[in-house]
Structure 1
Amino acid sequence: MIKLFFVILRFFSQGIAKLTSKIVFFCLKKLYLSKVIAAAAGVAILIFTYKVTAFLTGSNDAALIASALSGLAVFYYLLIPKFIRVALIKAITQSEKN
């Protein structure tokens, strides 16, 4: 039962992280907003993620995990330059093939 809970939480967290990264990407690329405004949108989503997860699960720990994953998505798109992200993805896929 607990294992199922964490599997559901993981999928929920990954969905929120993907949503956060898409919104931040949209703010940066399509609306031509600054990184500060895009980061503010990301932080707003982190707070929303924390509140919703805490309400749904009744657990602050689960909410922290979900918002931390969303925070990683914001960090990934805002602070890491694109050429480093591409190199990171290539290195990960190369190591998985070996």
Structure 2
Amino acid sequence: MPSNLVPRLNKLELIAGPKKEYPKVVRLVVSEGEEQDAYRQAAEMGLDTSPESKDILVIRLIAASPQRQASRDPAMAAIAREHVSALVAAVNGKTRSI
């Protein structure tokens, strides 16, 4: 019975298509300097940092313009800052960070 299972699994893998590649490192940054540091550190780790690479994913967080922030409710702005801080902490604590 196990010998019949292997060809079936191989056939299913062929039908499913290629496996999706996921980044080896995910990094959230807030400035251009941090973004450059992320790529430099990834290169030092031996990861491919070319634009077509799937080794590293750098997400740059961009703050709203001062005029737009000033027009928002201060309480909502504080909540948004807390959510961003929690997201950054979660990513740094639960994924491999460089």
**TM surpasses 0.5:** no
| Greater fraction strand | 2
Q: TM-score, normalised by structure 1?
A: 0.31
